[in-house]
């Protein structure tokens, strides 16, 4: 078996793309999207018609509403190729707005259900700010499952688990980027700070019996992926899925529910969360940067829509 086939024995493989053809090629269980991936997709000739249709079918709708329809169009199409779930992201401009995230989560689920997609097949992606986590807590109580994104630290992971979030997406590659830039070291294998962060979160969840799923995300190389074999899920870009499929070397399970480590339980209230996040320069930097980048790409999408109208 190639490495991708071996990895699927230990971990649920998720495609991190808005490209239907890639999803079809690698047969993942789930798929994730974000504003940057949707923006990238609609610039391709084969996906531009989805954007044009969303604009054409909603001539008098506000731009934000057209973007929602576009997200649902992509998600609905993606679900034709995966047996599991699709993740659809709320506008990062709402990252510090509890009520705004809750309202948008409800709107997106309603659009999916109108399209004949049951809510169990959708994860609503929300930034892992304190406000985003509170919104997740509310949505989960309503049966709307959430995927907490832009997650870089243990305090974010604990707060999400205590809120009952369905899934978290710790960003391995962006943590690696920050430390590589900060230290000049090109980390490999188990020494990678992004890998270590996910292992710490995974073991913490196992030790204290949290049901929230851990999905490693934002990979820069296959070494990071292979070091997390055994994680609940891993969401992987098409180019790295191809590299795994092209390689025959053995894959060893690195994470197991039996590996709980020596963590001490932390009770997470707002003051503790904000202080721990503030003490973590990397997580503070990358969370802010990630929100800015997703907002920028959402704005580019809005400009594309305005140009078509």
- Residue 213, φ and ψ in degrees, nearest 5: -80, 145
pLDDT at 259: 82
Integer Cα distance of 33 and 120 in angstroms: 17
pLDDT above 90 (res 217): yes
pLDDT at 298: 95
What SS3 string covers the chain?
CCHHHHHHHHCEEEEECCCHHHHHHHCCCEEECCHHHHHHHHCCCCCHHHHHHHHHHCCCCCHHHHHHHHHHHHHHHHCCCCCCCEEEECCHHHCCCHHHHHHHHHHHHHHHHHCCCCHHHEEEEEECCHHHHHHHHHHHHCCCCEEEEEECCHHHHHHHHHHCCCEEEEEHHHHHHHHHHHHCCCCCHHHCHHHHHHHHHHHHHHHHCCCCEEEEECCCCHHHHHCCCCCCEEEECHHHHHHHHCCCCCCCCCCCCCCCCCCCCCCCCHHHHHHHHHHCHHHHHHHHHHHHHHHHHHHHHHHHHHHHC
Whole-number percent of the chain with pLDDT over 90: 96
pLDDT at 262: 87
pLDDT at 78: 96
Query: Residues 76-132: pLDDT tens digits?
Result: 999 999 999 999 999 999 999 999 999 999 999 999 999 999 999 999 999 999 999
* Average pLDDT of span 4-12: 98
Average pLDDT value over all residues in the chain: 96
Query: Residues 19-37: pLDDT tens digits?
Result: 998 999 999 999 999 989 9
- Helices 98-114, 63-78: axis angle to 10 degrees equals 50
Bridge-based pairing of strands 233-236 and 12-16 is parallel
| 211 C-beta neighbours (distance < 10 Å), count | 9
Whole-number percent of the chain with pLDDT over 70: 100
| 297 C-beta neighbours (distance < 10 Å), count | 18
pLDDT above 90 (res 260): no
pLDDT above 90 (res 309): no
**Is the alpha carbon torsion for 121, 126, 128, 132 positive or negative?**
negative
Given a contact cutoff of 8 angstroms between Cβ atoms, the answer to whether 213 and 1 are in contact is: no
Selecting among 8, 104, 125, 286, the annotated active-site residue is 125
pLDDT above 90 (res 240): yes
Q: Active-site residue 125, yes or no?
A: yes
């Amino acid at each position: 078996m190639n490495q991708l086939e071996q990895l699927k024995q230990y971990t649920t493989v998720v495609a991190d793309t808005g490209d239907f053809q890639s999803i079809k090629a690698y047969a993942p269980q789930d798929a994730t999207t974000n504003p940057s991936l949707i923006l990238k997709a609609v610039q391709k000739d084969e996906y531009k018609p989805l954007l044009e249709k969303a604009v054409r079918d909603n001539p008098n709708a506000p731009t934000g509403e057209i973007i929602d329809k576009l997200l649902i169009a992509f998600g609905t199409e993606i679900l034709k190729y995966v047996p599991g779930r699709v993740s659809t992201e709320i506008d990062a401009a709402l990252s510090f707005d509890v009520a705004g995230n809750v309202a948008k989560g409800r709107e997106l689920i309603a659009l999916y259900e109108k399209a004949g997609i049951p809510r169990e097949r959708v994860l609503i992606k929300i930034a892992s700010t304190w406000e985003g986590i509170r919104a997740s807590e509310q949505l989960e109580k309503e049966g709307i499952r959430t995927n907490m994104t832009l997650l870089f630290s243990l305090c974010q992971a604990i707060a999400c688990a205590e809120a009952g979030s369905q899934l978290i997406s710790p960003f391995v590659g962006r943590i690696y980027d920050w430390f590589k830039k900060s230290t000049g070291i090109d980390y490999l294998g188990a020494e990678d700070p992004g890998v270590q962060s996910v292992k710490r979160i995974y073991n913490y969840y196992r030790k204290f019996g949290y049901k929230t799923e851990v999905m490693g995300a934002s990979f820069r190389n296959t070494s990071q992926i292979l070091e997390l074999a055994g994680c609940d899920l891993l969401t992987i870009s098409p180019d790295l899925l191809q590299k795994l499929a092209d390689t025959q070397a053995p894959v060893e399970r690195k994470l197991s529910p039996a590996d709980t480590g020596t963590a001490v339980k932390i009770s997470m209230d707002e003051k503790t969360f904000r202080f721990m996040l503030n003490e973590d320069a990397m997580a503070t930097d990358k969370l802010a940067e990630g929100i800015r980048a997703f907002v920028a790409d959402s704005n580019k999408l809005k400009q594309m829509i305005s140009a078509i109208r």
